[in-house]
Structure 1
Amino acid sequence: MDKPLKNPPPYAIASVDHALRAAAMLQLEGGLTVSQIAERLGVARSTAHRLLAMLVYRDFAVQDEDRVYRAGPVLELAAHSQSQVSRLRAVALPHLQRLVELVEETANLVIRTGDSVRFIASVECARVLRVGSREGMVFPAHRTTGGLLLLADLSEKELAEVYAPERYRDRPAERPDLAGLRRELARVRRGGFAVNRERSERGLVAVGVPVRGADGRVVAGLSVSLPSVRYEKGRLGELVAALGGVARGIEVELSA
């Protein structure tokens, strides 16, 4: 039995959501100012300052002499903030913005760690009815578009290691049906894209393509997410073409 779908809480607390998103930004990017955080969250500078002050108080953030905020000791991934993930995100963000302008839907970039994927970048579209930012969120890889793209790049041996039964000894219900997953990954390889219809969240459809590194391996999954009421199968070709063009742009910049 698969893990339940992840849906927004019925009574979301905006201030908590803003604080968590700010912490994720610092963890992924390495350093941001109050103004940058305020702009990204869409809040007043004073609000961003209060959020960051609380993160500093709880050791989720630190402020250096240049008044730049960085990930604090509580965030274990702080040591990796200037790693390949940070560079990938920095390179991809302008391309995600262009993708949003092209298709007028929310764009995302994910990476895989084991059997999970993390959204390292997310740019929302301007439509009233839209999919919100997933930046910093973690999902089971087999339930997301980007995750399927990353899993499809694995060899049979690598896939078996990711989903080895012993890894799920304490959570057997979360292990996917490997036979069905292999069939789906084969379709992804043949088509060069993946489609997710309400597998991760109800009312959401996502279409994605792989982003490859200089060695040809898939380093990230690039996708657009939209409300299922707005998705039409006839639009799939348009979305895949736009995604493919943007993915190539990211790849060229990464290899430069």
Structure 2
Amino acid sequence: MKNRPDYAVSSVDHALRLALLLQQEGPMRSSELASRLKIARSTAHRLLAMLVYRGFAQQNEDRRYDAGPALRPIGLNSTQVAELRAFAMPHLQTLRDTTGETVNLQVLSGLHVRFIASVESTHLLKVGDREGQLFPAWDISGGRVLLAALPPEELVERLTAEPEFDPSQLDSLLKILDMVRRRGFAINDQHKRTERGVTAVARAVRQPNEEVIAAMSLAMPTSRFRRDQLSRLNAEIASTVAAVERDLRGSPRSGLPQRADAE
């Protein structure tokens, strides 16, 4: 039996209870959640807004709240995520310092992408911290890099079984992924399903056995991106990826998985 901490933080407790209610009982209205927790509706709205921002809740078309994508499992266990993040973080920070733009590390969670590390830009106008958030893999540059590494037949089977994916977009996506394989990188420029005004470039991070384990992306406001920068930015990312991969090859640890795409 666990006792309530002597110095409990009520707002944290309320947010965690909201997330658990949504996970255990399914969609509920904010008024219902406020009533269950015996808190003001305005407080419930503020807490739910933060849960939605971090992916622990989502709002459905009927305006009810449901458990968010952050509560879904990913293809790495906590030890593997911690190891990969520890290897990559110094290099992500160096890339951020070199380019001045936000740098992210992502892994597959089913057919979605989880941001496991994020180093924010030094600019006032910037793409913010996305750590812990989940996005459809087919909609963002890092996700496309990871999908391009899957066996084509498996990829098609999984996409057609994914309820969030529009099957009418399959042929277009397969052509994009084929281009990603040939070029070695992906670029996501103001895609309609992700944030307007954001451009991101991504490359795959591979294990010593050449299996793709993650994607590294560089994200910036589109207003600051120019096409003549692409070659330089891509080279900077490639150099950083190579540095992470060298560290992975030199590590005696073997906790990292063969492929980070499990449901």
TM-score, structure 1 normalization:
0.67
Among 155, 161, 165, the residue aligned to 2:157: 161
In 2, Cα distance between equivalents of 1:215 and 1:126: 35
Counterpart check, 1:94 vs 2:86: no
Structure 1 stretches of 4+ moved >2 Å:
49-60, 74-80, 173-176
> Which residue pairs with 1:233 in the alignment?
227
SS at match of 2:218: strand
Distance 1:97 1:187, change over 3 A: same
Query: Deviation per CA, 1:63-89, whole angstroms, max 9, x where unpaired?
Result: xxxxxxxxxxx978699322x222111
Residue 169 of structure 2, aligned match among 157, 172, 177: 177
Tell me if structure 1 keeps the 8 A contact 2:188–2:201: yes
The sequence identity of aligned pairs, in percent, is: 38
Q: Cα distance, 1:50 vs. partner?
A: 4.8
CA distance in 1, matches of 2:106, 2:168: 20
Q: Distance in 1 between matches of 2:14 and 2:96?
A: 31
Q: 2:190 aligns with which of 170, 187, 198?
A: 198
Partner SS state of residue 217, structure 2 = strand
The answer for the alignment partner of 1:143 in structure 2 is 139
* Post-superposition offset of 1:154: 1.2
Q: Tell me the SS of whatever aligns to 1:225.
A: strand
Q: How many angstroms apart in 2 are the aligned matches of 1:175 and 1:130?
A: 33
Residue type of the alignment partner of 2:159: Y
Cα-to-partner distance string for 1:36-69 (whole Å, 9 max, x where unaligned): xxxxxxxxxxxxx958963897498xxxxxxxxx
The answer (yes or no) to whether the contact 2:112–2:143 under 8 Å persists in 1 is: yes
Consecutive unaligned residues in structure 2, runs of 5 or more = 1-7, 20-69, 251-263
Equivalent position to 2:214, from 220, 240, 251: 220
TM-score by length of 2: 0.66
1:137-183 residue CA offsets vs partner (Å, 9 max, x unmatched): 1100011110000011111112122213x442xx5x64462111111
User: For structure 1, which segment, 88-97 or 232-241, has the greater mean C-alpha deviation from structure 2 after superposition?
Assistant: 88-97
Judged with a 3 Å threshold, the aligned counterparts in structure 2 of structure 1 residues 95 and 201 are, in CA distance, closer, same or farther, namely same
**Per the alignment, do residues 126 and 185 of structure 1 end up closer, same or farther by CA in structure 2, a change over 3 Å counting?**
same
CA change 1:222–1:50 in 2 (3 A) is same
Residues 4-153 of structure 1 aligned to structure 2 (within 5 Å)? 50=9, 54=13, 58=17, 80-82=77-79, 84-153=80-149
Q: Considering only CA atoms, is the larger Rg found in Structure 1 or Structure 2?
A: 2
Report the CA distance shift for 1:148/1:55 in structure 2 as closer, same or farther (over 3 A).
same
CA distance in 1 between counterparts of 2:10 and 2:129 reads 18
194 and 58 in structure 1: CA distance in 2 versus 1, 3 angstrom threshold: same
Q: Deviations over 1:201-246 (max 9, x none)?
A: 1010001111111121211110110000000000001100100000
